[in-house]
C-alpha cells in the first residue's frame, strides 16, 4: 500500500504545460485539456495521470475534454499510502466535483449530467479501481480497461507466491489487508462487476503482458454484455499506452454512439 513516485519524463512535463490545472477539494491534482464530453485518464500503481498522456491530443481533436489526475499517494497528489478501496473513493469525490463544475445547459447529451461523466480509460490497477468505483456509483457511458486484472484474488495469489509466503503468513497478510481496507479480496472481481455494468466497454490487453495475463481480459469480456475485446502483441504492460493503434482504437470506441 506504500507507493513509489517516479519522475515524469520530458514529454509528460511538456504535455502538462499546455493543460489547465486544478486541485480538487480532496487534494487530488488534475490537468484538463479541450472542451466537450469528459474522459478521465486513470493511471496504475506507482504511476501518474500523465502516463496516459498520449491519448490527450487525439481525444481533444476528436472533441473530448480530457482530465488526467494523480491518484492519492501518487504523482503530485498528497499521501504516502493508498489501496484499491481508497483510490476508488477518491474517484467518486472527483466525479462529484467535476459534475458540479460543468455547464449542463447547452443541450449536449454527451456532457456530464447528474454526476455522469462520459467515459474513462483505466490502466492496470487503475482499471480495477475504476471498475470498483463504478460498482460504488461512478456513472459512466463508456469504459476502457487497459491491462486490467480480472480478480483481486488472483493478484493476491500471484503476489504472495512471488514473495514465497507460507500459508500461515499469507492468511495473516490477507486478514490485515481486508481489515485495513474494509474490502474483502474475493469480492473484487472485475468480470462480475462488468456483468452488472450498463456502460459500454472496450477491454484492451497485450498477449505478451508479463504482469497481468491476457486471459484476464478474455474473462472480463465474457460476462460484460456487448463489450469489445482488443488484443495486441509485443507491447507488454506499459508500452501499450503509447501505441498509435491502441490510441486510435480507443478513440473510435469513445466516438461510437
Q: Do residues 214 and 239 lie in contact, with contact meaning Cβ atoms separated by under 8 Å?
A: no
Q: Which residues sit opposite 189 in a β-bridge?
A: 151
Residue 181 forms part of a structural domain:
yes
CA angle 90, 145, 217 (to 5 degrees): 130
**Grid cell 500523465 — which residue?**
50
The pTM of the full predicted model, rounded to 2 decimals, is 0.93
* Full domain range(s) for residue 183: 152-187
126 and 99, same domain (yes or no): yes
Categorize the per-residue pLDDT at 112 as very low, low, confident or very high, splitting at 50, 70 and 90. very low
Residue 2 forms part of a structural domain:
no
Categorize the per-residue pLDDT at 106 as very low, low, confident or very high, splitting at 50, 70 and 90. very low
CATH number for the domain that contains residue 235: 3.40.50.1820
Q: Which of 160, 187, 214 is the last residue in one of the domains?
A: 187
95 and 127, same domain (yes or no): yes
Q: β-strand 200-206 against 228-232: which pairing, if any?
A: parallel
Distance between CA atoms of 84 and 229, rounded to whole angstroms? 24
Q: Do residues 70 and 89 lie in contact, with contact meaning Cβ atoms separated by under 8 Å?
A: no
160 and 146, same domain (yes or no): no
Q: What is the count of structural domains for the chain?
A: 2
101 and 111, same domain (yes or no): yes
pLDDT digits (tens, 9 = 90+) for 163-213: 999 999 999 999 999 999 999 998 899 999 999 999 999 999 999 999 999
Residue 1 forms part of a structural domain:
no
Distance between CA atoms of 247 and 240, rounded to whole angstroms? 9
200 and 237, same domain (yes or no): yes
Dihedral class, residue 98 (left if φ above 0, else alpha if ψ from -120 to 50, else beta)? alpha
Residue 172 forms part of a structural domain:
yes
Give the list of residues 6+ apart from residue 78 with CB closer than 8 angstroms, or none. Answer: 27, 72
101 and 44, same domain (yes or no): yes
Amino acid at each position: 500500500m506504500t507507493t513509489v513516485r517516479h519522475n515524469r519524463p520530458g514529454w509528460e512535463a511538456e504535455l502538462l504545460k499546455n493543460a489547465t490545472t486544478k486541485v480538487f477539494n480532496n487534494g487530488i491534482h488534475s490537468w484538463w485539456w479541450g472542451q466537450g464530453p469528459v474522459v478521465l485518464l486513470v493511471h496504475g500503481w506507482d504511476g501518474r495521470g500523465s502516463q496516459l498522456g498520449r491519448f490527450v491530443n487525439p481525444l481533444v481533436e476528436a472533441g473530448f475534454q480530457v482530465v488526467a489526475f494523480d491518484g492519492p499517494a501518487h504523482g503530485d497528489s498528497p499521501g504516502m499510502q493508498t489501496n484499491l478501496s481508497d483510490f476508488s473513493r477518491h474517484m467518486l469525490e472527483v466525479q462529484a466535483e467535476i459534475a458540479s463544475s460543468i455547464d449542463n445547459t447547452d443541450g449536449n447529451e454527451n456532457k456530464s449530467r447528474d454526476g455522469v461523466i462520459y467515459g474513462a480509460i483505466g490502466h492496470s490497477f487503475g482499471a480495477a479501481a475504476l471498475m470498483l468505483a463504478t460498482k460504488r456509483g461512478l456513472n459512466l457511458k463508456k469504459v476502457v480497461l487497459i491491462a486490467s486484472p480480472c480478480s483481486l484474488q488472483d493478484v493476491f495469489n500471484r503476489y504472495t507466491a512471488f514473495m514465497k509466503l507460507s500459508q500461515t503468513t499469507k492468511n495473516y497478510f490477507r486478514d490485515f489487508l481486508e481489515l485495513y481496507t474494509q474490502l474483502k479480496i474475493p469480492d473484487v472481481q472485475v468480470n462480475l462487476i462488468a456483468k452488472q455494468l450498463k456502460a459500454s466497454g472496450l477491454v484492451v490487453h497485450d498477449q505478451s503482458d508479463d504482469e497481468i495475463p491476457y486471459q484476464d481480459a478474455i474473462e472480463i469480456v465474457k460476462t460484460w454484455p456487448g463489450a469489445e475485446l482488443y488484443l495486441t502483441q509485443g507491447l507488454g504492460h506499459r508500452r501499450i499506452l503509447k501505441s498509435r493503434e491502441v490510441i486510435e482504437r480507443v478513440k473510435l470506441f469513445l466516438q461510437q454512439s
